[in-house]
Structure 1
Amino acid sequence: MGTNKQLVISSFSDDIRAATSILTTELPKISENQILVKNKYVGINALYDRELYRGKVPYINVKFPYVFGVEAVGEIIETGSLVNNFAIGDAISTVKVGTAYKEFQVLDADEAIAIPEATPEYLTINPTGVSAYLGLKNVAELKPKETIVVSAAAGGLGHIVVQLAKQKDCHVVAICGTKEKETLLQSLNCCDRIINHRKENIHTVLSTEYASKIDAAFDSVGRHMFDAFLKNLAPLGRLVVSGLATEINEGSFEKINAPRVYESIYWKGASVRCFMNHLYKDQHPEARNILFKQYQKRELQVKVDPKKFQGIEAIVEASEYLLAGKSCGKVVVEL
Structure 2
Amino acid sequence: MNATNHQFRLAARPVGMPKREDWKYTSEPVPEPRDGELLVKVLYLSLDPAMRGWMNEGKSYIAPVNLGEVMRAGAAGRVVSSKHPGFAVGDYVIGHFGVQEYALSDGKGVAKVDPKVAPLPVYLGTLGMPGMTAYFGLLDIGKPNPGDTVVVSGAAGAVGTVVGQIAKLKGCRVVGIAGGADKCRYLVEELGFDAAIDYKSEDVKKALKAHCPKGVNVYFDNVGGDILDAVLTQLAMHARIIICGAISQYNATGPMKGPSNYMSLLVNRASMTGMVVFDYAARYGEAAREMAGWMAAGKLKSREDIVQGLETFPDTLLKLFKGENTGKLVLQVAAE
Q: TM-score, normalised by structure 1?
A: 0.90
1:132 corresponding residue in structure 2: 134
Query: 8 Å contact 1:147–1:172 — kept in the other structure?
Result: yes
> Cα distance 1:267–1:50, how it changes in 2: closer, same or farther (>3 A)?
closer
Q: Give the distance between the partners of 2:19 and 2:59, measured in 1 at CA.
A: 15
> Counterpart of 1:121?
122
Q: 1:294-309 counterparts in 2 under 5 A?
A: 294-305=294-305, 308-309=306-307
Alignment of 1:220-235 (within 5 A): 220-235=222-237
Residue 22 (1) aligns with residue 25 (2): yes
- In structure 2, what is the equivalent of residue 89 of structure 1? 90
Confirm or deny: 8 A CA contact 1:219 1:243 kept in the other structure.
Answer: yes
Shift of 1:191: 0.6
What is the total number of aligned residue pairs between the two structures?
Answer: 325
Aligned sequence identity (%): 26
Distance 2:325 2:66 in 1: 31
Shift of 1:240: 1.1
| Unpaired segments ≥5 residues, structure 2 | none
Mapped to 1, the partners of 2:139 and 2:67 lie a distance apart of: 38
Note if contact 2:134-2:162 (Cα within 8 Å) is conserved in structure 1: yes
Alignment pair present for 1:52 and 2:50: no
Q: Structure 1 residues 29 and 225 mapped into 2: Cα distance closer, same or farther (>3 Å)?
A: same
CA distance in 2, matches of 1:215, 1:256: 21
Unmatched 5+ stretches in structure 1: none
1:326 is aligned to 324
Question: Stretches of 4+ moved more than 6 A in 1?
Answer: none
For 2:272 and 2:189, locate their aligned partners in 1 and report how far apart those are by CA, in whole Å: 31
Matches within 5 A, 1:1-335: 1=1, 2-14=3-15, 15-45=18-48, 47-56=49-58, 58=60, 59-80=62-83, 82-83=84-85, 85-94=86-95, 96=96, 99-117=97-115, 119-124=120-125, 125-254=127-256, 261=262, 263-305=263-305, 308-335=306-333
CA distance in 2 between counterparts of 1:297 and 1:257 reads 40
Offset at 1:239?
A: 1.2
Q: Counterpart of 2:13 in structure 1: which amino acid?
A: F
Taking only aligned residues, the RMSD between alpha carbons, in angstroms, comes to 2.1
1:54–1:269 Cα change, 3 Å: closer
Whole-angstrom CA distance in 2 between matches of 1:64 and 1:201: 42
Structure-2-length-normalised TM-score: 0.90
Give 1:155 shift: 0.6
Q: Could you tell me which amino acid in structure 1 is paired with residue 299 of structure 2?
A: E
The answer to whether the 8 A contact 1:19-1:53 is kept is no
